[in-house]
A and B are shown apart, each in its own frame.
Chain A
Amino acid sequence: MLLVPCPNCGPRNAADLTYRGESHPRPDPGTATKHEWRTYLYLRDNPSGWLRESWYCSSGCRTHFQIERHTLTGEIRTPPLPGSKTAGGT
């Protein structure tokens, strides 16, 4: 079982949450070329290692949040929230 830390509800079984997949910044729909848009829609890094991904707490607080998970070991680390002082450039 994978325990995923929801920022509001605490650690929950992954089966109680909805997996939203790899997280990438969305291109601007107004200016994105077809190529950029389709790259965003379809292409994935799918690493065997650390992956930044989105989850949705569908049966709890209904928050979308991001974590970093190691896809081989299942280890989880929470990245700094966007806008916080420790947030990185990307």
Chain B
Amino acid sequence: MARRTRPAKYSAFGLVRRGITKQSWPRVWREPDWKSAYDVVIIGGGVHGLATAYYLAANHGITNVAVVDKAYLGSGGSGRNTAIVRSNYLTPEGVAFYDRSLTLYNSMSIDLNLNVMFSERGHMTLAHTDSALRTMNWRAEVNKLQGIDSSVIAPREIKKLAPSLDVSPDTRYPILGALYHPPGGTIRHDAVVWGYARGADAHGVDLHQKTEVLDILCEGGEGPDGKGPGGRVTGVRTSRGDITAPIVVNCTAGWASTIAGMAGVRLPITTHPLQAAVTEPVKMFLPTVVVSGSLHVYVSQTDRGELVFGASVDPVATYNMGGTLEFTEELAGHVLELMPGLSKMRLLRQWAGLCDMTPDYSPVMGPTPVDGFFVDVGWGTYGFKAGPVSGEQMAACVATNRTPELIEPFALSRFTDGALVGEKGAAAVGH
């Protein structure tokens, strides 16, 4: 049977037709039959896993691929982030990488024929100290050298872009300037996941939800059961049965260490929750994304009018996604220092996602000492922004068995070779 390679088209005409006739929409992706062998198994059905599957099929013609997720697609960090995208990083490696991601996000609605609601509204990182201002200037220069629109602006211009900000010199942490990055913005994170899932499914990729990976099967390694360096992957054991596969890709973010441990690979990663919160919806008043590193907060207004807040990761490593009172208190205090006019606004809800933090705030991508076992992890707080480019580059890495230039600096071996990347200065908030 010939497989369709493009999903059924979404169009204004279809919307009207289904609206008038009250026809139900067709299922967006299949519930595939269980198969016990694939060419590639991708663990983790978030934006990274699904993008990798999509580009494997679309760019390289490898369609005998399974994506397995222990819950539902996009249930991890892909649905828990604050949906901000930007490319104003600090290291040349980081800038090149995230800029490619932004390019892919820009054309995504057309490529995937699904409105991902990309809103290019500008991204502003505030500086409250001389040293922060110095880092902003540094980042602006690194960005400009690579052709990225990014510059340092004065409080007067900040006030023009975001009138609700208190830019007076009398505040506890006066705003001295900001790094302004017009191409940054926000995107509908669920739509990105659905777009890739739909695209991958149309190419014949099997998306197995509610399928938990219990073990990774290896042979020839120096550890017990043939695991560990020197061995090779033969498949995965899941809650629904074994799958044989010569290539397994780990895209599991917060759970990266536990999955890699199943193959006998240790990672330089600790898992920390990052909390976020959202207010009741109000009229649009905040046109840009506002970030303050010193005050540990980033805020943007959604198209529905809610304010979305995020902060820095919790200091204690844990897999528990419960909220804390400290977070809410600090967040409210810091937001009010920036925008005193919000004191009557009510917080609607609060949640946390798991971040896989590395010592140099850069990801770990590419092959591991176990042959056939690839990782795309260590994303920390930058994972969502990097989804498309990671998928594209990981697909190239898996398909050609060569590490693409764009992800070479992020190899696992950099920790044993002492060649760390050092992206901490570009973290949206301090850690």
Where the two chains meet, the residues of A that have a C-beta atom closer than 8 Å to any C-beta of B are 1-2, 14-15, 18-19, 21-22, 34-35, 38-39, 41-48, 51, 53, 71-74
Contacts and interface: CB of A to CB of B under 8 A. Distances in A.
A43 B266 CA distance: 6
B29 interface: no
Given A2-B316, A44-B268, A48-B255, 7 more contacts: A21-B317, A22-B270, A38-B416, A39-B416, A46-B267, A71-B271, A73-B320
A12 B423 CA distance: 33
Given A35-B416, A38-B415, A46 B317 contact: yes
B315 interface: yes
Contacts of A47: 257-258, 261
A44 B266 contact: yes
Q: Which of A15, A19, A35 has the most C-beta atoms of chain B within 10 angstroms of its own C-beta? A: A15
B146 interface: no
B320 A46 contact: no
B261 A1 contact: no
Interface in B392-431: 415-416, 418
A21 B320 CA distance: 16
Contacts of B359: 41-42
Contacts, number: 68
B318 A74 contact: yes
A12 to B, nearest CB: 13
Interface string B204-248: 000000000000000000000000000000000000000000000
Contacts of A2: 316
Given A15-B326, A74-B320, A48 B270 contact: no
B261 A51 contact: no
B320 A44 contact: no
8 contacts: A19-B315, A22-B270, A34-B418, A38-B415, A46-B257, A46-B267, A46-B317, A47-B258
Contact of A51 (B315, B317, B320, B326): B317
A45 B261 contact: yes
B318 to A, nearest CB: 5
A51 B320 CA distance: 14
A35 B266 CA distance: 13
Contacts of B255: 48
Given A39-B416, A44-B267, A48-B258, A1 B317 contact: no
B319 A72 contact: yes
Contacts of A18: 315
Contacts of A34: 418
A25 B225 CA distance: 26
Nearest to B266: A43
Interface string B335-366: 00000000000000000000000010000000
B270 A46 contact: yes
Given A21-B317, A46-B269, A74-B320, A38 B258 contact: no
Contacts of A22: 270, 317
Given A1-B324, A34-B418, A38-B416, A45 B316 contact: no
A89 B318 CA distance: 27
A71 B318 contact: yes
Q: Which 7 A-B pairs have the closest CB atoms?
A: A46-B257, A42-B268, A42-B415, A43-B266, A48-B319, A72-B319, A19-B316
Contacts of A43: 266-268, 415
Nearest to B414: A42
B20 interface: no
Nearest to B258: A48
B204 to A, nearest CB: 33
B325 interface: yes
A34 B415 CA distance: 11
Nearest to A55: B316
A45 B416 contact: no
Output the residue of B270, B318, B324, B415 with the most chain A CB within 10 A: B318
A22 B255 CA distance: 17
A15 to B, nearest CB: 5
A70 B392 CA distance: 37
A28 to B, nearest CB: 19
Interface string B242-276: 00000000000001011001000011111100000
A46 B253 CA distance: 12
A71 B267 contact: no
Q: Which of B261, B319, B325, B415 has the most CB of A within 10 A?
A: B319
B370 to A, nearest CB: 15
